[in-house]
């Protein structure tokens, strides 16, 4: 393979990897926000806040 072709193939591979990393980050972000749960309960003028935050890590191969 010629040096220019090899360099081009390397750049394309890097670009695809960056794209996968970006999509993975976006998906993780969406999952974390969809799992976030907050409810407010009123009992004798006391407001109690419950928060549940669970993060998931996805592996892309």
Structural domain boundaries, residue 45: 3-52
- pLDDT > 50? residue 61: no
**Per-residue pLDDT tens digits for 25-35:** 777 777 666 66
In a domain, 18, yes or no: yes
Mean pLDDT along residues 4-23: 72
- How many domains are contained in the chain? 1
Residue 35, CA distances (Å) to 2, 10, 45, 54 in order: 50, 38, 28, 6
Residue 59 — pLDDT band, cuts 50, 70, 90? very low
Q: Is residue 11 part of a domain?
A: yes
Q: Note if the pTM is more than 0.85.
A: no
CA distance 60 to 1: 29
Burial of 24 (0-12, 13-18, 19+ CB in 10 A): middle
């Amino acid at each position: 393979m010629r040096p220019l072709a090899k360099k081009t193939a390397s750049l394309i591979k890097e670009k695809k990897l960056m794209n996968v990393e970006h999509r993975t980050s976006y998906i993780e972000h969406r999952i974390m926000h969809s799992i976030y749960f907050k409810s407010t309960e009123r009992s004798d003028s006391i407001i109690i806040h419950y928060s549940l935050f669970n993060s998931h890590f996805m592996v892309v191969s």
